[in-house]
C-alpha cells in the first residue's frame, strides 16, 4: 500500500519515510509541497499524510476533499497549534489526525489503522468532533439510535437483528433510513466509517479513550 506525504519540510519527509519503512505492508511513494504536485506525481496513492498548514496557503478542507476524490485515505499531520484548522478538518472524512511530536509507535499504529480504512481518533480530533456545535442533529427514533449504535461499532447485521429482536431485512431498512436522515441535513453517511463518525458526533457512541 502506497503512502505519500504533502508537507513543505524535508525533515518531515525523512521522518515519515522512516516511519513507513518500519510499517509492514506500506511503502513510501514520495512527497510534495502541494496536493496538486503530489497527485500529478502519484495519482494512485493509497494513504496521503497531509500537513494542515502548507506554504501555498491552500485550504486544509479543500486539500482533504481533493485527496479523497482521488481515492486516497487521509491522515492529517499537525503541530496542533491551530484549533480552528483541526475543527475544520474534523468535519471532513479524514480517518485520523496525529501530532508531529507524537512518539514513533503512535504514528506507526495510526498509519496502520488508516491504511486498514479504520478511523483513528487523536485527543484533538475527538475533542473537535464532540464540541462542534455547528452540526445539525439528525432526528433519529429510539430504535434507529439503537441500530446505529450497534451497526456503527461494526456489529454485523445478523447480530444487530438478534440483539434487537428484529429481522435482518428490518435492520437494512433502518440503516437506509438513518443514512437518508443524515443526507437530508447535509451530513451524509456513505459507509460504516461515516456512520461511526455520525454516532460519535451526535453522542450515540462514547468517545474512545485517547
What is the full DSSP assignment across 18-50? HHHHTSTT-EEEEEESSHHHHHHH-TT-SEEEE
Q: Give the containing element (helix H, strand E) for 5.
A: strand 2-6
* Cα–Cα dist 84/88, whole Å: 6
For residues 19-47, average pLDDT: 91
Q: For position 124, which CATH number holds? A: 3.40.50.2300
Please check whether residues 21 and 95 belong to one and the same domain.
yes
Percentage of the chain beyond pLDDT 90 is: 38
What's the pLDDT band for 210 if we cut at 50, 70, 90? very low
Taking only the tens place, the pLDDT of each residue in 167-193 is 999 999 999 999 999 998 888 998 888
Q: Report which of residues 180 and 8 the model is more confident about.
A: 180
Residue 208 pLDDT > 60: no
| CA pair distance 146, 175, nearest whole angstrom | 11
The helix (H) or strand (E) run that includes residue 6 is strand 2-6
Q: What is the CATH number of the domain that holds 147?
A: 1.10.10
Mark whether 104 and 193 lie in a shared domain: no
Q: For residue 136, is it within any domain? A: no
Q: What are phi and psi of 76, to 5 degrees?
A: -85, 135
The whole-number average pLDDT for the span 199-204 is: 76
Domain total in the chain: 2
Range of the domain at 124: 2-130
Cβ neighbors of 1 (< 8 A, separation 6 or more) are 25, 26, 27, 46, 47, 115
Amino acid at each position: 500500500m502506497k503512502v505519500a506525504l504533502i508537507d513543505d519540510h524535508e525533515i518531515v519527509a525523512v521522518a515519515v519515510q522512516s516511519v513507513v519503512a518500519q510499517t509492514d505492508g506500506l511503502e513510501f511513494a514520495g512527497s510534495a509541497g502541494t496536493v496538486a504536485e503530489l497527485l500529478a506525481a502519484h495519482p494512485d496513492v493509497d494513504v496521503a499524510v497531509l500537513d494542515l498548514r502548507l506554504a501555498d496557503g491552500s485550504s486544509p478542507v479543500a486539500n482533504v476533499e481533493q485527496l479523497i476524490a482521488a481515492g486516497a485515505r487521509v491522515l492529517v499531520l499537525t503541530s496542533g497549534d491551530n484549533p480552528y484548522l483541526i475543527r475544520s478538518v474534523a468535519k471532513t472524512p479524514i480517518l485520523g489526525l496525529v501530532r508531529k511530536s507524537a512518539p514513533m509507535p503512535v504514528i506507526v499504529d495510526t498509519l496502520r489503522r488508516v491504511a486498514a480504512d479504520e478511523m483513528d481518533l487523536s485527543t484533538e480530533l475527538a475533542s473537535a468532533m464532540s464540541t462542534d456545535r455547528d452540526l445539525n442533529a439528525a432526528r433519529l427514533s429510539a430504535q434507529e439510535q439503537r441500530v446505529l449504535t450497534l451497526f456503527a461499532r461494526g456489529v454485523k447485521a445478523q447480530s444487530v437483528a438478534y440483539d434487537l429482536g428484529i429481522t435482518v431485512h428490518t435492520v437494512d431498512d433502518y440503516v437506509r433510513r438513518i443514512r437518508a436522515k443524515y443526507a437530508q441535513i447535509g451530513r451524509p453517511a456513505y459507509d460504516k466509517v461515516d456512520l461511526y463518525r455520525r454516532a460519535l458526533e451526535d453522542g450515540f457512541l462514547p468517545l474512545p479513550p485517547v
